[in-house]
Amino acid sequence: MKYLFELGRQPEISIAELEAIFLHDGVDLNTLKPRHIGSYLVIESKDRIYAEKMISRLGGTMKIGNAIENTGDPIASIVHFLNENSTGKIHFAVSGEVTKKTGIAIKKQLKSLGRSVRFIETKNTASILHNNLVEKKSDFTILENNIFVTKAIQDIEGFSKRDFGRPGSDDKSGMLPPKLARIMINLSQIKTTDVLLDPFCGSGTVLTEALSLGFKNIVGSDISQKAIDDTKQNVEWLQKKFDLEPKTFDLYTSDSVHLLGQIKPDSINAIVSEPYMGKPLRGNENKETLKKQTNELAQLYIESFRSFHKILKKDGVAIFIIPKFRHENKWITVNCLEEIKKIGFEILPLAPRPEKREAKGVDSLLYWRTKQYVGREIWKFKKV
């Protein structure tokens, strides 16, 4: 069966997450014959993919669809499918390699069959949600002569509640988008029974996403007592709001450089963290100020990795954001990778599709919007 994944704003990050999930589930990626077409990934799988369950794990996929029969004429095939599978008035949407005319042609043919019909021009996942097009089996994507019907969409309301509804948030230190936190957890490829730590937990975005993914052993620490209080509040709120099984969280007020005082050696399977990234930038800082800041951050990260090495288990991993700063259309980077390697870590490649990776020589994923002064570069380290 062919499956379609509509990817997020940065497709390479969404693909890396999907690859990590398949590898975690023991699927050989080559058997899936993945094809990246614009903002979509198409795969072929002998094993059934349960779209609802799959999408509930992901942060970077907007929708998942299954291929339906294409008799050679996609418009006629969709008309046939809708006529067979819908009762009453038909509401449908079609996207992918289409023009407005495609939708109008489908509508016309259905009308000639005596059906009452409305063509919805979906702009995003929200329009699919608000028009109930998944339940109605009537959101289609046409791609390279394949037709896919949408089986599941991202829980945009859940993400938004977790993003904006939570009680404890610290505007000063900023917040990681929950979708990115979830992607980072998935990139670690650890099991839900493994121990996960965020040593710069802030208001707890990584920890609450881990909780909603069903992780059972979650540890958080932060140098600020307020951050730890916010995290506690957010965890309790999330457990109540989403009716999640109460879990014991280990939360510590601690400098990331001195974790060993609080956390046992060789006890953590994965560190997933967006660390302190320096003072918030206005965009008018001069190069010297930015250089000074990157040097300070490099020291903090190197010292933190010394402490991570002690508390991580053998083969333990760290999914860690290293910021880079935009100055006059160039990046100023935090120089710490070589020192981190010397401590006893290797860098595992995250960028999808090795052929592309080698050409570019990049192992990390960059999360960045044009015009932002800070880019978040995601790295995967393994304790060696």
Ligand X SMILES: C[S@@+](CC[C@H](N)C(=O)[O-])C[C@H]1O[C@@H](n2cnc3c(N)ncnc32)[C@H](O)[C@@H]1O
Among 61, 203, 212, 293, binds ligand X (CB under 6 A): 203
Cα dist. 383→83, 270, 303 in Å? 57, 10, 15
Q: Check residue 224 for interaction with ligand X (CB under 6 A).
A: yes
Q: Check residue 277 for interaction with ligand X (CB under 6 A).
A: yes
Least distance in angstroms from the C-beta of 127 to ligand X: 29
**Contact stretch for ligand X (CB under 6 A) within 32-40, 121-129, 139-147, 219-227:** 219-227
Q: How far apart are CA 146 and CA 224, in angstroms?
A: 53
Q: How far apart are CA 188 and CA 196, in angstroms?
A: 10
Nearest residue (CB) to ligand X, 96 versus 204 = 204
Please tell me the total number of residues recorded for the chain in this structure. Answer: 384
Question: DSSP label at 187?
Answer: H
What lies within 8 Å, CB to CB, of 216 at 6+ separation is: 192, 193, 247
**Contact stretch for ligand X (CB under 6 A) within 9-17, 50-58, 150-158, 251-259:** 251-259
Q: Check residue 299 for interaction with ligand X (CB under 6 A).
A: no
**Contact stretch for ligand X (CB under 6 A) within 142-150, 189-197, 201-209, 331-339:** 201-209
Nearest residue (CB) to ligand X, 86 versus 252 = 252
Nearest residue (CB) to ligand X, 300 versus 340 = 300
Nearest residue (CB) to ligand X, 29 versus 366 = 366
Among 6, 19, 139, 222, binds ligand X (CB under 6 A): 222
Tokens 């006529």 map to which residue? 83
Q: How many CB atoms lie within 10 A of CB 15?
A: 23
Return the H-helix or E-strand segment holding 195.
strand 195-198
Q: Check residue 256 for interaction with ligand X (CB under 6 A).
A: yes
> Which 3 state secondary structure label does DSSP give 315?
strand
Nearest residue (CB) to ligand X, 150 versus 304 = 304
Residue whose C-alpha is closest to residue 350's, from 268, 298, 272: 272
Among 129, 213, 223, 332, binds ligand X (CB under 6 A): 223
Among 41, 75, 142, 176, binds ligand X (CB under 6 A): 176
Half-sphere exposure of 363 (CA within 13 A, CB side): 12
Asked if 20 contacts 186 with a C-beta cutoff of 8 angstroms, the reply is yes
Among 274, 318, 319, 325, binds ligand X (CB under 6 A): 274
> Which 3 state secondary structure label does DSSP give 3?
strand
Least distance in angstroms from the C-beta of 239 to ligand X: 17
b (16+ CB within 10 A) / e for 25-35: eebeeeebebe
Q: Site for ligand X (CB under 6 A): how many residues?
A: 22
Q: Check residue 276 for interaction with ligand X (CB under 6 A).
A: yes
Asked if 270 contacts 190 with a C-beta cutoff of 8 angstroms, the reply is yes
Least distance in angstroms from the C-beta of 208 to ligand X: 9
Among 92, 140, 148, 200, binds ligand X (CB under 6 A): 200
- Residues binding ligand X (CB under 6 A): 173-176, 199-200, 202-206, 222-224, 227, 255-257, 274, 276-277, 300
